Amino acid sequence: MSALPPETGLRLILGSASPRRRDLLAQIGLVPHEVRPPEIDETPARGELPRAYARRIALEKARAVSLDEGEVLLCADTTVALGRRIMGKPADAAEAARFLHLLSGRRHTVITAVAVRRGDRLWQREVETAVKMKRLSNPEVNAYLATGDWQGKAGGYAIQGPAGAFIPWINGSFTGVVGLPLAEAAGLLTAAGYPAYGENA
């Protein structure tokens, strides 16, 4: 979709309750005018592939938030994929442990889809990052689970937390793995007429 000209006075709405996404936006000088987390069903469709799932959820989030004139909405969805398997947020420590043992010693993909909406216009993009997790011992998994850092994290871990010690290598966007690929998000906001590096803040 074509870009809109820059416009001052627009208000940035973050369609996410994630403190990580707020922190990432702050890195480029953006403070949301308001946070409006949408409530949608994030259950994957039968046979849905990870990239298509992340794109669909980001777009559904963007469409679920009510906007006033002069507001620009930013939504995102982060999905961990092991091959064709979608690894969402674990329901409990047992599922988090299962995810970590599956990822142990293997490469996986983290997909973050970003959607920006202004009025009835949408801009959207997905960013894929390859991530290698070292081989984990049972004591390492148990110690990590005890931190509680796995809660609410796709795939059962967060690269910016204690699990960063498990990740020797990535190829792609670090901020995308954290939850919001900043270069791409800034580009989408700019396309929607919202100057992306703090000029509108």
Convert the pLDDT of each residue in 27-38 to its tens digit.
999 999 999 999
The one catalytic residue among 77, 92, 120, 149: 77
131, 177 in Cβ contact below 8 A? yes
Written as one letter, the residue type at 160 is: Q
CATH of domain 11-191: 3.90.950.10
**What are the C-alpha distances in Å from 200 to residues 105, 112, 130, 149?**
44, 25, 33, 34
Domain boundaries, the chain: 11-191
The most distant pair of C-alpha atoms in the chain lies apart, rounded to whole Å, by: 54
Written as one letter, the residue type at 56 is: R
Q: Above 70 in pLDDT, residue 158? A: yes
Residues 11-23: tens digit of each pLDDT: 999 999 999 999 9
Across residues 133-139, what is the average pLDDT? 98
| pLDDT-derived band at 2, boundaries 50, 70, 90 | confident
Is 41 among the residues known to form the active site?
Answer: no
